[in-house]
Structure 1
């Protein structure tokens, strides 16, 4: 529940010219935190990736790792685009 509430401090609309890309940084951070917490859940003692009858080791890996990588890639590409456009 915290990540959606954390995004509420951003004002709606486009930032003024020359303003730092706060919304881009915040959006990428919150999206990454979601996937990082899901991946790190296996580090807790006694935790498992599936319910008791399940036999899979970590089925979420097929979604979590690519989604985290795509979030990082999208962030880097947008930062590069903003740097080139002078925003």
Structure 2
């Protein structure tokens, strides 16, 4: 996969680029805009639930979370719906 976007949650020393054989959702808007979320192995229900992703770049600073939900009809793109402490 030739993609320079960063995968959310990769650890220091890990390759932050998407890896072959994995399934990703693109995060759209908010503090994590443009990053990819690895949803490999997630159930359809878990994907519909969306995610509260830890970020230091959101409205609540370190420890805060950015809320993302899948676009209706397109679970490969998730839109930001706000921040929470």
Instruction: Please state which band the TM-score falls in when normalised by the shorter chain.
Output: under 0.3
TM-score (norm 1): 0.25
Q: TM-score, normalised by structure 2?
A: 0.25
Say which structure is richer in strand.
2
Q: Which has the larger share of helix? A: 1
Larger Rg computed on CA atoms = 1
